């Protein structure tokens, strides 16, 4: 256990053996919301973190329960967007079929994510007391205000046909084909918020930023690995075609996608070695905490799990822990060792905290895993990937605790049917 000084303040890196006792603590002791709010400076960037519990509820319960019902729409949208902007196809689930191809909305969500990241990074350079003044000199803050206004307009347009209906579905939802996150969250709102389009617009921008970033990072790293290790592609394609043949060869279903165990292992190995951060399970300490070894976590500090260190720990992944092995989790046989990492992509344990840990683990991880797997299936069936001659894998960029896919990274792509890419 050690302490570093991050851009948010003192951060205590907690080894895996203490994570299980921390993950069960209530929000009065450890707050993931406060940690994220400080990381992205939500007080100034207005990114909806503290007040986005409706979106979290939708993603965690309603969307997760109805993945099979949104899958046909995802397939339709994916066939439409490939090979151009593959990272935009999850938008179908966020704003529905009428708005997901709206150029204004796509541009707004893409720019919003960048502006929040840049502005929050700039703000943290300055002392806390000065940030409420400094924000007015940051161009991205002004851009975020424009994005919020545009999002409010778009959400109002999407909901204008819902004014007269007030369905009561706090916990159980019959997920209809037209029910997307915009409509689904609206139906969860109390009456006083149903016409607050600024609130709902910011919520949709927050969902889009989280959903698109997670999927695009994972899929991009998988593509880089297919280019770097081309020997995996034939095996993965064979599995895909075998499953399609065994399931009748029609449209993909949740059950059929769930049978792609080699592909899931390949995805998790990319998540392990190329995670989107060097830490995980980030929390802010709100009340003093005494660990079982006597260590006291002081109020105002932050705690995190050493994700990068866990990912390459020989005690967990063996002597080849720093080597890419695409079928590591497929070949893994569970045994009595409690440190053994689970093979499922979305599992959250102290040895596999890639989507967080505890009750505040990523609420949309099942949807993110589904959209990433579906996208990789189609890309494997359509394209072949190679590194540029004489060049290696594009290197990630590490900024504070974030790990970002290198902007502008390129690989060679060949359409297997000779179509223009």
Q: How far is CA 45 from CA 37, 55, 122, 154, 356, in A?
A: 10, 18, 11, 20, 23
Instruction: Specify the DSSP class assigned to residue 396.
Output: P
Q: Was 222 annotated as part of a binding site?
A: no
Q: What is the DSSP string of 195-254?
A: T-HHHHHHHHHHHHHHHHHHHHHHHHHHHHHHHH-TTHHHHHHHHHHHHHHHTTSSS--H
How far, in Å, CA of 54 to CA of 183, rounded? Answer: 12
The residues that bridge with 304 in the sheet, in sequence order, are 13
How far, in Å, CA of 316 to CA of 339, rounded? Answer: 6
Burial environment of residue 38 by CB neighbours within 10 A (0 to 12, 13 to 18, 19 or more): buried
Rg of the Cα trace of the chain?
22
Residues 6+ apart with CB under 8 A from 184: 58, 62, 63, 173, 175
**Cβ-contact 254, 371 below 8 angstroms:** no
Residues flagged as binding site: 362
Binding site for heme: what residues are annotated?
362
């Amino acid at each position: 256990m050690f302490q570093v000084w991050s851009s948010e303040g003192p951060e205590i890196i907690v080894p895996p053996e203490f994570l299980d006792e921390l993950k069960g603590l209530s929000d009065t002791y450890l707050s993931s919301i406060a940690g994220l709010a400080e990381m992205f400076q939500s007080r100034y960037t207005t990114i909806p973190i503290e007040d986005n519990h409706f979106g979290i509820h939708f993603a965690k319960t309603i969307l997760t329960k109805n993945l099979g019902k949104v899958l046909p729409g995802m397939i339709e949208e994916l066939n439409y967007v490939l090979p151009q902007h593959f990272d935009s196809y999850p938008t179908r689930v966020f704003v529905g079929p009428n708005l997901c191809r709206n150029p204004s909305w796509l541009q707004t969500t893409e720019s919003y994510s960048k502006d929040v990241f840049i502005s929050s990074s700039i703000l943290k350079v300055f002392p806390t007391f000065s940030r409420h003044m400094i924000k007015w000199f940051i161009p991205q803050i002004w851009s975020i205000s424009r994005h919020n206004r545009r999002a409010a307009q778009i959400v109002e347009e999407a909901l204008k046909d819902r004014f007269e209906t007030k369905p009561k579905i706090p916990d159980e939802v019959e997920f209809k084909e037209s029910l997307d996150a915009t409509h689904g969250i609206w139906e969860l709102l109390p009456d006083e918020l149903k016409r607050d389009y600024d609130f709902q617009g910011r919520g949709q921008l927050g969902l889009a930023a989280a959903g698109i970033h997670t999927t695009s990072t994972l899929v991009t790293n998988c593509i880089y690995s297919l280019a770097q290790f081309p020997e995996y592609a034939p095996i993965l394609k064979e599995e895909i075609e075998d499953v399609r043949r065994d399931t009748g060869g029609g449209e993909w279903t949740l059950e059929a996608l769930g049978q792609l165990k080699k592909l899931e292992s390949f995805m998790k190995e990319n998540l392990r070695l190329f995670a989107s951060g060097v830490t995980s399970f980030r929390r802010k300490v709100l009340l003093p905490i005494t660990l079982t070894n006597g260590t006291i976590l002081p109020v105002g500090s932050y705690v995190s799990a050493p994700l990068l260190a866990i990912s390459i720990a020989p005690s967990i992944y063996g002597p080849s822990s720093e080597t890419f092995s695409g079928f590591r989790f497929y070949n893994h046989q569970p045994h009595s060792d409690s440190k053994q990492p689970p093979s499922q992509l979305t599992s959250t344990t102290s040895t596999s905290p890639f989507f967080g840990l505890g009750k505040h683990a990523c609420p949309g991880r099942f949807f993110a895993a589904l959209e990433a797997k579906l996208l990789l299936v189609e890309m494997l069936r359509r394209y072949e990937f190679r590194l540029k001659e004489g060049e290696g894998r594009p290197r990630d960029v590490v900024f504070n605790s974030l790990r970002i896919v290198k902007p502008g990274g390129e690989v060679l792509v060949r359409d297997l049917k000779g179509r223009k890419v």
